[in-house]
A = this chain, B = another copy of it.
Amino acid sequence: MDKRQCILEATAELIAEHGLQSCPMSAVARQAGCGAGTIYRYFETKDELVQELYLELMKRMTEHCLTDYDGSACVKLRFFQFWGNFYRYMRTNPRDCALLEQMSACPAITDGTMERAATALHEVVFGILQDGQAQQVLKACPEKVLSTFVYGALSTLAKKYNCAPELMGEELEAQQLLALCWDGIKA
């Protein structure tokens, strides 16, 4: 088994449970089943470990978002496939969802890391929205406004369902939540 992977996984587990600020390297080592020194064979510093974890999480999420994604389908289909994948990923992996939120909000993750982590996603989203606007299917807002709108709504809904499902009433299908977003941005 891959030690580096183990260490990343252990870090994820601990941060999710106790927060970024209470995640000592000694605990990471224990959780990963290795000595403290070993971590430093794979990561220069704790900070690097954390940045790498963020990149790893984003990579995993990006892959899921592109499952069965057909770039040549119509705008509406692409929209529902992509964001449906996104939402389901967030709902199926509550730990990663919480982790991503926590890390995105934290100044310790540098802007460079964030940008590097998100470019792949950006391109796909940009493609969908551009096409939608060209075909006048979508509102003529700046593309970033639309993408931020959808991302914000869906990620917050997923988080809420993950953390406090009892408050949310009977659970809706991803389709119905996507419909809210679609109605918001359609022309």
Contact with B along A121-164 (1 / 0, CB 8 A): 00000000000000000010111111011111111110010000
A37 at the interface (CB under 8 A from B): no
Interface of A: prevailing SS: helix
CB of B157 within 8 A of CB of A156, answer no
**Interface size band for A:** 35 or more
Contact with B along A59-92 (1 / 0, CB 8 A): 0000000000000000000000000000000000
Given contacts A21-B108, A148-B160, A149-B153, contact A141 B184 (CB under 8 A): no
Determine the residue in chain B with the shortest Cβ distance to A99. B105
Stretch at the interface among A4-12, A25-33, A165-173: A165-173
Of listed A101, A145, A169, A181, residue having the most chain B CB within 10 A: A145
